[in-house]
Amino acid sequence: MRLEPIAEPSALRRLGLPALALAATMVVASLLALVAGADPFATLGQIATGALGSRLAILETLNRATPLIFTGLAVAVAFRAKLWNIGAEAQLYAGAILAVLLGTGLLGSPLVLPVSALAAMAAGALVLLGPVLLKTRLGVDEVVTTLLLNFVMLLFVSYLLEGPMRDPLGMGWPKSAALIPEARLPRIVEGLRLHWGFGLALVAAVLVWVIQTRTTLGFEIRAVGQNPEAARFAGMPVNAVLVKTALLSGGLAALAGWSQVAGLKGHLSLDLSPGFGYTGIIVAMLALLHPLGVVVTAIFVAGVFVGSDAMSRAAGVPTYIADMILATALLFMVLAILLTRFRVVRG
């Protein structure tokens, strides 16, 4: 048996296989709930209710989706150019560091929010710039360098929180000083946790879509991703395109950390991200690297996590089922993408 490329996949194949992948994911999730000793239908219903069953649940799902939209966009932009950015977690923390540096009193004007956001994007872009220059100049694999930078950044943040950035009035778990009120993103709904970082994430998704579909840079990113040698032969500056892609990708990932600090936490701590950078890879892949699809899949992934927390309290099923659901969804979606582009031929 061998795989044969499909020149023009049909609409049924392009839409039906991903839908079948999601249906297969629900079947696996039901089996997992059954193994855990719970009613599969009741468990899935409790996940849906916990994520969307009330106004509070919906707002919490959107709140959890905010950093996932940013990291999903960062991964989607990079992967479109075949730039394998596995370091969104490091770029996220770089953005969070700048949010604290500029938001704890260094800047006290009303411009502190936009200035800190731009500074955070610059920091995230610089974090990814190093691996890309190593790739373009020396041929170093960016998967390795971006992945290792995640651990380097976590150690750096730990040093900062144990030393120069530690809140002198804080007790217990090390954290930074709190942001001043002018550096905080306002709430969309007063009294609840959803903040305007979610609105910024939606704007970012639209802007990325416009860049990818309506600009020369977007065309160059797609061309380099599909065939860098052909793009170079056509006169495109492939290395320059990769650098521009890295700057955009790193800046988007940094906004995830900035929005978590400025909109939700109000300070920096080591538990700021429970793996948003890595989960962004799942979000981008489930969205087939489409920036508007990233918004939908980020809300879906966030809903799985929020709903699983509620389900665990109600049914006693471990929340690890959420990780299994997402891992299964990713595997089935990758298979669906493969079968969309190739057909299995005997002989």
The greatest distance separating any two alpha carbons of the chain, rounded to the nearest whole angstrom, comes to 71
Domain for residue 73, yes or no?
yes
pLDDT of residue 243: 96
* Other beta carbons within 10 Å of 1: 6
pLDDT in tens, 276-333: 999 999 999 888 899 999 999 999 999 988 888 877 776 666 777 777 888 888 888 8
| Structure letter (DSSP) for residue 165 | T
If phi > 0 it is left, if psi is from -120 to 50 it is alpha, else beta; for residue 221 that is: alpha
Domain for residue 296, yes or no?
no
User: Residue 206 — φ and ψ, nearest 5°?
Assistant: -65, -45
Domain for residue 264, yes or no?
yes
pLDDT of residue 268: 93
Q: Which parts of the chain are beta strand (E)?
A: 2-5, 342-345
Residue 257 contacts residue 272 (beta carbons within 8 Å): yes
pLDDT in tens, 101-133: 999 877 767 789 999 999 999 999 999 999 999
pLDDT above 80 (res 162):
yes
The model carries a pTM of 0.91
User: The tokens of 211 are what?
Assistant: 């860049």
Domain for residue 233, yes or no?
yes
Number of domains in the chain: 1
Domain for residue 36, yes or no?
no
Q: How many residues does the chain have?
A: 347
Domain for residue 330, yes or no?
no
Domain for residue 13, yes or no?
no
Confidence of residue 341 (pLDDT cuts 50, 70, 90): confident
CA count, 13 A, side-chain hemisphere, 66 = 28
| Structure letter (DSSP) for residue 289 | T
CA pair distance 185, 164, nearest whole angstrom = 25
Q: Domain containing 209: what range?
A: 69-277
> Is 174 strand, coil or helix?
coil
pLDDT in tens, 318-337: 777 777 888 888 888 888 88
SS3 helix, strand, coil % of the chain, rounded to 5? Answer: 75, 5, 25
pLDDT of residue 26: 84
Domain for residue 108, yes or no?
yes
* Other beta carbons within 10 Å of 273: 21
Residue 284 contacts residue 76 (beta carbons within 8 Å): yes
